Every structure is written in structure tokens, then in C-alpha cells.
Amino acid sequence: MPRGRSQKRLQRASSRGLRRANVGRPDFDVCAPVLTAKCTARIHRKQTQPKPLSITLLAVGHKRSRDDILRIVLSNIGTYGDTNPLIAIALELKRRGHVPVMALPAVYEPKIRPLGLEFHAVRPDIDPTNTILVEMIYDVKKGTERGLREFLFPALRQTYDDLLEAATKPERADLLLLGELNYAGPIVAEVTGIPWASYVLAPLSFFSAFDPPVLPMYPRLARADKAVPGLGRVIRRLARFVSRKWPEPIYELRRELGLPKGANPLFDAKHSPFLVLALFSRLLGKEQKDWPEHTKITGFCYYDADAGNQALPSNLEKFLAAGPPPVVFTLGSAAVLAAGKFYEFSARAAVKLGIRAVLLIGTDPRNRPRQELPESICVAEYAPFSALFSRASLVVHQGGVGTTAQCLRAGKPMLIMPYSHDQPDNGRRMQRLKVAGVIQRINYTPMKVARRLKAMLDEPRFAKRAQSVAGQMAREDGVRVACNALEELGRQKRKP
């Protein structure tokens, strides 16, 4: 974008709504003129380079010691599964001498600051105890729609204001890395002229007609995609038609800022025109000809420490050391708040089979099984998957891409009980890879789970195949590839 147009759009953004949206926030009322002046100055610094202005900017912002250091804002709104890959990338960028800035919901600040990373809170915040919200979002029929229209989009203007501040204060960022749930991110990039990259975590996000995903509300369509020519295009059109009215709040914000309507935010505009990082393994999905241009598959980016701590709880460590590898039952970081009877039924299935088991129940007290448990079952609220899964025999989980990635890395077979979003599609891909079985939530009963587990544990081909896949994935380095691509984009955009 020409720098003159960037300046005009930034000025319009400030004058048309920046103050109005932040009435009652003294910090923003005072700083809005300074913010505009600083951003405008940074946009024109390379073009005009007035000496007094350069001195002022260095005094206000972070002084750089080398021209190749990048200030990169990494932002998304979502669960730990959405955020952990960003943390992995940020830590590597910091190790390389760059300045990563984490712009995330405030709930993550206690996990980020101990890592020595700069943090800026972005609204809406996430209440980790709000089980009603999680149950709403994971509803198969309306979960995605309600999550967008009732949680993300009502706070869209606040997200824009917060991210704009993170991208321009105390100095202008050189690059943005945006997750697909931060729908204000591409608008901030357009207004400021800051180059940006986007990232996705699973193939579902591309809605490819040539590798059609499983739509949670229409799962039977996916079963016929090989038998019916052109069905992938039908699935893609159906997804766009069903969601056609959802992004109206995004269009409204763009009108308010003096921007054109733009491409569809749910399917097209969320992808950067410069670089799209597919943060998953090629074993999960390969490039398709209808993917966005400049897409790069990196491999998975792993991080699951708790503010840097990757140690197992002491009771769990003792349990693992006392006997053969157990079956692990977990629902990740979000579905665990809508567990229902998952842990009660899982415990009953383990008792029926006479196997050792670990239940990762989270902090919701309702997840603790009511029945008295034998010593062969260990209950823990949380454990780093990277430290636990390698010591398991099999993992039962919800199909989130982060949990799936850790299972693949550990070389362990899986039984997947998907909820919604990308989970049904991830489950099918693991079935195709021959490392997992899938059981639907409606069928998750002690008897049926015990039967499925016995069949998988008695059949060595699942474990052998999982080990083989882990060997293939060991050659991937998602964090390195992603950081290399970001550095290259930063160098390209800094060229005069």
C-alpha cells in the first residue's frame, strides 16, 4: 500500500472513531493525538527522515541496536491450543534477537510475562471458568455462529482499538502475525500499512474444494466426497451460504473507518496476501491449488509449558513410575469445561478393562468422578502433554489440533471423541493416517468405550503405525520454518 494512503487511512481511523470508542478511558483520550502523530511519523520516517523527528522517536520507543531487529506483534483470540503455537514462535524470535510482542486476551498475561515477553491485553477477555460459554461454542449445530456473533463480534471495535495500540505504541511494529479469530487484525494492518502474516492451525481453515473438510453440522457430506464428483465445491459453497450474514459487524467497522467492504472476512480476508503460515504437518494436510497464495506449511509448533514449567505433578510422576503405561483421557484446554460425563464414563471403562488410566480433569470440580476410584486410576488437573503422552499407551481426546499434534509427536495411537469446529475433520484425517479411531459423543458410554479401547490395545498395528508417523514428524521443525519465513517477509518489506 502506498505510504500516503496509509497515512490518510490512519488519520481517518483516529478522527472517525478512535476517541468515540474509548470515552471514559482517560489513558486513550490523552494519548490518541500522540498515537496518530507517532504512527504517521513512523510511516514516513524512511521517506523523509527529518532529523529532529528521528531523535524523538528513539527517545519515546525502544532503541534498536541493529537494523535487522524486527518488532513483531503476535495476536489471536482463542484457547491455549490457539495460543501455544504463538508462544513457541515468540520464544524463538526472541532467541534470535527480535522483539516479539504478545497481543492476547488478558487471561494469558500470567503465563506470558514470566517468559520475558512483552504483553498487551486485547479484548474480549476469556473467563476460564465460564462453562456456559464453552458449552455454547461447542454446540455442533450453532456453536461456530454463536461464538462469532455473541462473543467475538460484539467486542470487535474494542479488539481493533487494543490491537492498534499494541501495533503502534510505544513504537510502530515492523510486522504483525495474526490468527484467524482476530478479525480486527487485517483491518489494523490495512489502516496502518504494517505488513502482516496470518496463520492457521488446521486444514479445515482453508475450506478447500479439493480436500473438503468435515463440516460439524453436516458430517455425512464428508463421507461422500470421494464418491460424488464436485462435492467439495458444494461443501465450500454451502459453508459460505450458511454464514453469509455473520460478518456484518466487520463490514460495519470497515465503513466506519472509511474502508471499502473488502473480501469475505470468514474465508478470504483473514489470510494475508504476503504470507500464510500453515502451522501443521504435511501428514495432516498437503498444499491444494485453491489455498491462498504464499501459503507455507511449516510443521507443528509445540509449546505446552505452564509459564515455562514443564514438570509433571508429583502424584502423577509417582503413578507413571509405578506401573505400565496407562491410557490417558483428556479434553484439552477448552472442551474440558463442557465435559459432561466424559470422565465418569472413562473411569468406568478403565475399571471394566482392568487397565491403568490417567484422567486430566481440569479445574472444574464437576469433572471429578463420583465413584470411588481404584489405585489404578490417577486423577490430575493438568499435565504438559509433551511430558505425559510419551509415557502413555493410548490417548483418548477431543480431537483438538494441539492435542492431536502432541499425540503424533509422542507416537501414540488415539481414540478421538470430537466436539465441533475442526475436531471432526482432524479425527477423520487421523483415521486416514491409520493412527486413530473415532467415537461420537452420543456413543461415548462405558461399554462402547471399553470395547473400542480393547480392540485398539489388542491390535499392535495402531501402535506400530503411530511410531512410524512419529519418526516421519521428527524431521519437521515448525518453529524454525515459521520464524525463517517471518524474517524473510520482514526483510522484503524493509527494502526501499
Q: For residue 138, name the pLDDT band (cuts at 50, 70, 90).
A: confident
Mean predicted confidence (pLDDT) in 174-200: 97
Average pLDDT, the chain: 87
What pLDDT sits at residue 181? Answer: 95
**Same domain flag for 148 and 204:** yes
Q: What is the pLDDT of residues 64-87, one digit of tens each?
A: 446 789 999 999 999 999 999 999
296 and 425 fall within a common domain: no
pLDDT, tens digit, 9 for 90 and up, residues 87-129: 999 999 999 999 999 999 999 999 999 999 999 999 999 988 8
Answer yes or no: is pLDDT of 495 > 90.
Answer: no
pLDDT exceeds cutoff 60 at 36: no
Please check whether residues 489 and 458 belong to one and the same domain: no
State the average pLDDT over residues 340-360. 97
Q: Please check whether residue 172 is in contact with residue 194, taking contact to mean a CB–CB distance below 8 angstroms.
A: yes
Q: Is residue 59 domain-resident?
A: no
Measured over the CA atoms of residue 442, residue 152, residue 428 and residue 264, the dihedral's sign is positive
- With beta carbons less than 8 A apart as the criterion, state whether 199 and 222 touch: no
163 and 257 share one domain: yes
**Residue 404 is part of a domain; what is its CATH number?**
3.40.50.2000
Residues 294 and 347 in one domain: no
DSSP string, 175-189: EEEEETT-TTHHHHH
What values do phi and psi take at 199, rounded to 5? Answer: -140, 150
470-475 long-range contacts, CB within 8 A, separation 24+: 470/408, 470/409, 470/410, 470/411, 471/411, 472/283, 473/281, 473/283, 473/299, 473/300, 473/408, 473/409
Based on the fold, state whether residues 270 and 324 are members of the same structural domain: no
Q: Work out the percent of the chain whose per-residue pLDDT is above 90.
A: 72
Average pLDDT over residues 309-322: 94
User: Is residue 17 one of the residues assigned to a domain?
Assistant: no
The pLDDT assigned to 206 comes to 96
Statement to judge: residues 467 and 483 lie in one domain: no
Give a yes or no: residue 229 inside a domain: yes
